[in-house]
Amino acid sequence: MAIKRILVVDNEQYIQEVTKICLETVAGWEVLTAASGKEGITKAENFQPNAILLDVMMPDMDGLTTFQKLQANPATQAIPVILLTAKIQSSDRRRYAQMGIRAAIAKPFNPLELANQVANALGWTF
């Protein structure tokens, strides 16, 4: 089976590093990182990841705007997106689901559980 490729889009370097280490170590996935929505869209087009973990609160272009641009692009619209967010309520989860977002994972997350949370949201096994 091919190794899953995950794109992590987060403006915080620390979150990028922790997420990359956790997903590579626990699940054996390949992890790409981007520090902005614009960079994330470019990397999604070029590398066609199996999923995107997307921070909601970012400067310049926030996560929801980035998601909308990914959805509007035929090259990236089929890539499942999971939000990483510090602010999440049940009403947010419903709204995200209606938008087509697969799941939302609260920050701070447990690094050892992150791969399981992603896999469960996408119906993957590792």
Tens digits of per-residue pLDDT, 6-43?
Answer: 999 999 999 999 999 999 999 999 999 999 999 999 99
Domains and CATH numbers, the chain: 5-121 (3.40.50.2300)
The structure tokens listed for 102 are 């697969």
Q: Which has the higher per-residue pLDDT, 94 or 74?
A: 74
Position 121 scores a pLDDT of: 96
The pLDDT, as a whole number, for residue 87 is 78
Residue 22 pLDDT: 95
78-99 mean pLDDT: 89
pLDDT tens by residue, 51-70 = 999 999 999 999 999 999 99
Q: What is the pLDDT of residues 90-123, one digit of tens each?
A: 788 889 999 999 999 999 999 999 999 999 999 9
pLDDT score recorded for residue 114: 97
Residue 1 pLDDT level (bands cut at 50, 70, 90): low
Distances (CA, A) of 87 to 6, 36, 65, 84: 22, 19, 16, 9
Look at residue 88 and tell me whether its pLDDT is greater than 80.
Answer: no
Is the confidence at residue 2, as pLDDT, over 90? no
CB-based contact 63:86 (threshold 8 Å): no
